[in-house]
Chains A and B, each alone.
Chain A
Amino acid sequence: MKYALFLGCKIPSRLPAYELSTRAVLLRLGVTLVDLEFNCCGYPARNVSREAFVVAAARNLAIAERAGLDVLTPCTCCFGSLRHAISFLEEDPELRSRVSQALAVEGIAWSGKTEVEHLLPVLARTIGVDALGAAVRAPRAGLRVAAQYGCHALRPSNVARFDNPLAPTTFETLIRLTGATPVDWPRQLDCCGDPLHESNAPLSEHIARAKIADAKASGAEAMCTACPHCHLRFDSAQAGSPKPSIRSLLYTQLLGLAMGLDEKSLGLECPESPIRGR
């Protein structure tokens, strides 16, 4: 199994642990990751120019296409952007031709051959629950976590093609494989508040806190995340809050631990975290 790894902008600069743990886990699972010189997924440009957004996204797809690889991204936001770009390109022939011209300058082209996959479905479906189950050596029994899918993994469902957006099960299944228990929490499918942070910080904080409180009240010991934006938002929303916070834990770290990988290779520095399970 071989993918072009699309880390996006956030992970390398703000959440290297996600890159570490993703690489470590996939290496153990026999997945080859290729690094290509990608650029921004285009998301920030959506508020400036739809076309610029699509061009940026399509450039990445074209680069992967040139390398004959499908794209795997651990970032839910990038996943959404790239998938959206594809749907825009497919629904709007005019846009497609303008984008092709823009790409032609660099001698690359988008033809739609490249699939864009999010890490979770790749784990759950392509690698498969059986393979994962077999790889788990040290189940994190008793650990209760709140699964945070991230909006752009689920919605709009026709673009994401990820899971049932109103009653998703992928993440829960993956969590159970590690021996941990996914809690049922009402605000699970709500936004984490991150996209609002620049425009309306208080509202963004409010949304994030509401989710965290909800997860906590539902008995979660950790937020299990699969998106750097959600992950960092939860952390920063809890930074300096008086209430005892629950930490956010990357799924790749949880899985890595369950697979018996050492904490260092997963970017887990604080050993007293609740993620060790009982």
Chain B
Amino acid sequence: MALAATSVKKTMPHTLFHTALYASLALCVLGLLWRSSAWFRVRVGPDARAVTLSQRLGALLRGTATALFGARVLHILGACFLDVLLLRRLFAREKPRWLGHLLILAGFTLLLLMHAFEALVTVKLFPGYESTLAPYLFLRNLFGAMVVAGIALLYFERWRRRTGLVSVRRPMAAAFAVLLGFVLATGYLLEAHKIASPQAFYRMAKRYSGTTDPGELMPLRAVWASEFGVAFDDLKEPFASNVMERGRQMHDADCAGCHAKPASAFVSYPVSRLLAPVTALLDKGRADIWLLYLHVFACFLGLATLPFTRFFHAVAVPISLLVNASAPNRAFSAAGRASRRALALDACLRCGICDAHCSVAPLARHLGNPYLLPSHKLVATGALANGRLLRSGRESDGFRVAEGAFLCTDCGRCTNDCPAGLDLEDLWQAGRGDLAAAGLPAPAQWVRALPALAWAEALEAAAGQHTATDPDASCAPLSADRRSFSRCVQCQTCTNVCPVVAQSIAADHRVDLTPQKVMNLLRLGLRDLTLGSRMVWDCATCYQCQENCPEGLRVTDIMCELRALAAHRLGAVRSWKAPS
């Protein structure tokens, strides 16, 4: 019964404690194994599909070996200290968030060591340690407070830096925060109750001074009432000085060895004062016991569920950071990259820093498509990789994910800003590969799956469905207005100056129309025939036609419009898999 605070020894049946402890421990370990195994199972990107599990494990071993015995070992140690412990990347970007994380990290770790593992750690390091002695009373409260402050700060930051962008929903994160809060709360309450509890006093008195007779203990009680905050309901201050004097002698004889004044427990002590009125009640209900149970089992629960909550990033992020440090980016093999991508899916904190700085964030906001934002894109990429996205069968999701993936400009800001140091650009590239393989390639590609006429007929078949949302007026004002092409005199200058038509001389990249024919189809009222045409999608927007049109037609602007219109209308009529 090495692990566990002394107080537990006194109150909890060993077997129960142990079974619970080992069960949750086992769950935790299994969970960790399962989660981390995903780093070798999950495949993001076409190249990842090419590598086998053994290759990836091999890459892991090789990587570790070179890391440990290679030249970069110092580099890695540095990363260990600066990146992992001091959260350097976060410090460089957002100081308040960094502080929040640091508080939680430090507070939690110290509580774990000093309090949870006291018998294992503290007692060994500090002979004569007693949880009820100064400064431990104070420190325990302090560490707890750090964690609470950290959480509060993070939530405050999130609120303060809200960007108007939807952020990824993270139910487990909240659940875990609640659990953590619960552990701390029960801890504080337990402590507070014990401070104020007469029953606790009597039990101690019985054990150490052998008597429980109130009269006999009167002086000691007086001292504990006035200086240790025990809430005796039968005593009233002030006490006579001689009584106090006596009491102090008894205290020094029996108690002082283990008990410092609790006022240094700057959280629990005030709480105990608040509890005073109801202490008797709590005593009757043996609050000391059930609070302890709650506290301990909450800890176990946390332990058991840790791999499945967001707290898992506490494991994944350091590993990710160390992996980054272990080798320069380009040095990773295909297998290595594959594992790294899978790891990245777990290591994302959903902190939203990337979203805030994303170059296409305004587009995401205006198009109402969160999948343009890195954090959402990462979730979708994961979902696509393990098949959830398309199993969900929600076509619209498929589109929006694809739209997000292909509107990304690869500006690399997200990768630069990621506190976990994830190589997101690599992830996006891989994700696009997966989308294409899943039948969700870039619009310019899926349009090619059918000839222009087939698209037109698909549109006619779906006529009525799209008319409601047909954005012609706002998104295609030119092609919807005959005045913008009625001046065309069929002179074909647009085609003569078009580099695309001029160069599309090989069958493999032939365009099916010419700019002039597109304008003419508009005149013929056959606009739908143009939406899926190669000419419209292969227009290089070089503006030669528009610059040279003798009649001042805005040919290129119309081409752009037609693509936008096509993306909208063909997207609506097309099943989420590319037609074949």
Contacts and interface: CB of A to CB of B under 8 A. Distances in A.
A121 to B, nearest CB: 18
Contacts of B537: 199-200
Nearest to A42: B363
Residue of B409, B442, B534, B540 with most chain A CB atoms under a 10 A cut-off: B540
Contact of B367 (A49, A94, A105, A154): A49
Residue of A47, A50, A154, A198 with most chain B CB atoms under a 10 A cut-off: A47
Interface in B552-569: 554, 556, 560-561, 563-564, 567-568
Interface string A1-30: 000000011101110000000000000000
A155 B509 contact: no
B524 interface: no
A152 B367 contact: no
A125 B406 CA distance: 38
A193 interface: yes
Interface string B160-184: 0000100000000000000000000
B443 A47 contact: yes
B474 interface: yes
B323 interface: no
B362 A56 contact: yes
B403 A156 contact: no
Contacts of B568: 48-49
Given A9-B411, A195-B540, A47 B563 contact: yes
A236 to B, nearest CB: 14
A160 to B, nearest CB: 9
Given A9-B410, A56-B362, A206-B509, A156 B547 contact: yes
Residue of B358, B509, B546 with most chain A CB atoms under a 10 A cut-off: B509
A196 B500 contact: yes
A37 B411 contact: no
Tier of interface size on chain B = 35 or more
A113 to B, nearest CB: 20
A9 to B, nearest CB: 4
B385 to A, nearest CB: 23
A151 B476 CA distance: 23
A72 to B, nearest CB: 18
B444 A198 contact: yes
A56 B360 contact: yes
B19 interface: no
A91 B443 CA distance: 29
Contacts of A46: 541, 560, 563-564
Contacts of B500: 191, 196, 203, 207
Contacts of A165: 547
B560 A155 contact: no
Contacts of B358: 39
A210 interface: yes
Interface string A182-198: 00000001110101101
Interface string B524-560: 0000000000100110111110110000001010001
Contacts of B362: 39-40, 55-56, 59
Contacts of A272: none
A196 B445 CA distance: 11
Interface in A167-193: 189-191, 193
Contact of A48 (B164, B540, B564): B564
Contacts of A40: 359-360, 362-363, 409, 411
Contacts of B506: 202, 206
Residue of B164, B361, B543 with most chain A CB atoms under a 10 A cut-off: B543
A51 B409 contact: no
Given A39-B362, A202-B506, A202-B509, A207 B499 contact: yes
B567 A195 contact: no
Contact of A210 (B360, B409, B503): B503
Given A40-B359, A206-B506, A9 B409 contact: yes
A197 to B, nearest CB: 10
Given A39-B358, A56-B360, A199-B537, 13 more contacts: A10-B409, A13-B410, A39-B359, A39-B361, A40-B362, A40-B411, A47-B443, A155-B543, A190-B499, A191-B499, A198-B442, A203-B503, A207-B540
Interface of A: 8-10, 12-14, 37, 39-40, 42, 44-52, 55-56, 59, 92, 94-95, 102, 105-106, 151-152, 154-157, 165-166, 189-191, 193, 195-196, 198-200, 202-203, 206-207, 210
27 contacts: A10-B409, A12-B411, A13-B411, A40-B363, A44-B360, A45-B367, A46-B541, A48-B367, A50-B476, A50-B560, A50-B561, A51-B475, A59-B362, A94-B474, A102-B365, A105-B365, A151-B541, A154-B547, A155-B542, A157-B547, A189-B544, A190-B499, A191-B544, A195-B541, A202-B506, A202-B508, A210-B503
Interface of B: 164, 357-363, 365-367, 403, 406-407, 409-413, 425, 442-445, 471, 474-477, 499-500, 503-504, 506, 508-509, 534, 537-538, 540-544, 546-547, 554, 556, 560-561, 563-564, 567-568
